[in-house]
């Protein structure tokens, strides 16, 4: 780990004992372990996340289970690698979200949303129904959010809804976040366009958007970039410099994409 990365890492305790085991997330390998509360450390506190890997009704493992019978989405019950990568990036650059209005698309268990709120952001965390797990994790971490004078609200969001209707319901945002929602979720690239359409609609004049890309199911990054070019012609997209990402949370091919929107310049008369 580089010297810069070391400065960003809070020195954790080893696995702690409480009513439940608490596992401090120092690496992606830690995230592979289940059965404990997973703790993501901040400079002035921590965020705790608990995965839900089995159905509460029949206790079937997700692999081979009837998805329709599960009381939650198979995509929203897990702490994905991309969410750790983005959460660590926000932890290192809190100015990106502090005091900003933030939307997370496909928040899952809500780690980046809760981290953003714990850094002073005003966050709307969205997921497709049901919202039980996301609401549970937000409640679990209310104290650290309140201490930072941030805020977080949970809302349902169907990506297929017309983007303008989403903007009218949720409003506009300074920052849009998305983790592990770009590859392997649905076949083809139509869901890229759905997500990008939402970003374009809700993004304020000088909005930024941070999306993690984790290769999955053979979907190539060039398919996403082609969708960006046609869906967001007024936006610029770059890869975040890898030296700014904590090595402990990177995996092969993982990237954070930074999309920036060039807004309309204010007239000097508007400043009066």
* Domains of the chain with bracketed CATH: 80-271 (3.40.50.150)
260 pLDDT band, cuts 50/70/90, is very high
- Tell me which of 33-37, 72-76, 97-101, 109-113 is least confident: 72-76
Average pLDDT over residues 74-78: 80
Higher pLDDT, 83 or 2: 83
Rounded to an integer, the average pLDDT of 184-194 is 74
What pLDDT, on a 0 to 100 scale, did the predictor assign at position 101?
Answer: 98
**Comparing C-alpha atoms, which of 40, 44, 173 is closest to residue 97?**
173
Q: What angle do CA 2, 89, 194 make, to 5 degrees?
A: 140
* pLDDT value of residue 71: 55
The predicted pLDDT at position 10 comes to 36
**From CA 239, how far away is CA 210, in angstroms rounded?**
10
Residue 72: which pLDDT band, with cuts at 50, 70 and 90?
low
Rounded CA separation 185/26 (Å)? 27
Q: Which pLDDT score, from 0 to 100, does residue 53 have?
A: 66
Largest CA distance in the chain: 64
Q: Which of 113, 111, 154 is closest to 130 using CA atoms?
A: 154
Angle made by CA atoms 83, 89, 95, in degrees to the nearest 5:
125
By percentage, how much of the chain surpasses pLDDT 70?
A: 78
Question: How does residue 185 score in pLDDT terms, banded at 50, 70 and 90?
Answer: low
Q: CA-CA distance, 107 to 109, in Å (whole number)?
A: 6
Question: What predicted TM-score, i.e. pTM, was given to this entire model?
Answer: 0.84
The pLDDT of residue 197 is: 95
Residue with tokens 């997921």: 127
């Amino acid at each position: 780990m580089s010297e810069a990365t070391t400065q960003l890492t809070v020195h954790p305790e080893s696995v702690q004992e409480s009513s439940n085991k608490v596992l401090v997330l120092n690496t992606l390998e830690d995230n592979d372990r289940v059965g404990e509360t997973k703790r993501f450390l901040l400079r002035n506190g921590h965020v705790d996340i608990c995965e839900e890997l089995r159905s509460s009704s029949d206790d079937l493992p997700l692999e081979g289970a009837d998805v329709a019978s599960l009381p939650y989405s198979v995509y929203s019950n897990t702490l994905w690698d991309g969410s750790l990568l983005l959460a660590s990036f926000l932890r290192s650059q809190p100015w990106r979200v502090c005091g900003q209005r933030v939307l997370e698309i496909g928040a899952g268990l809500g780690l980046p949303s809760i981290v953003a709120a714990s850094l002073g952001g005003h966050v709307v965390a969205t997921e497709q129904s049901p919202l039980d797990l996301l609401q549970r994790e937000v409640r679990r971490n209310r104290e650290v959010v309140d201490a930072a004078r941030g805020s977080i609200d949970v809302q349902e969001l169907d990506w297929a809804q017309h983007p303008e209707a989403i903007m009218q319901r949720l409003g506009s945002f300074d920052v849009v976040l998305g983790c592990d929602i770009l590859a392997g979720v649905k076949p083809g690239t139509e869901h890229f366009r759905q997500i990008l359409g939402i970003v374009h609609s809700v993004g304020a004049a000088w909005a930024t958007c941070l999306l993690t890309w984790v290769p999955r199911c053979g979907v190539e990054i060039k398919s996403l970039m082609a969708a960006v070019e046609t869906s967001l012609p007024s936006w610029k997209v770059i890869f975040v410099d890898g030296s700014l990402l904590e090595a402990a949370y990177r995996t092969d091919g993982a990237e954070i994409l930074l999309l920036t929107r060039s807004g309309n310049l204010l007239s000097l008369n508007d400043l009066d």
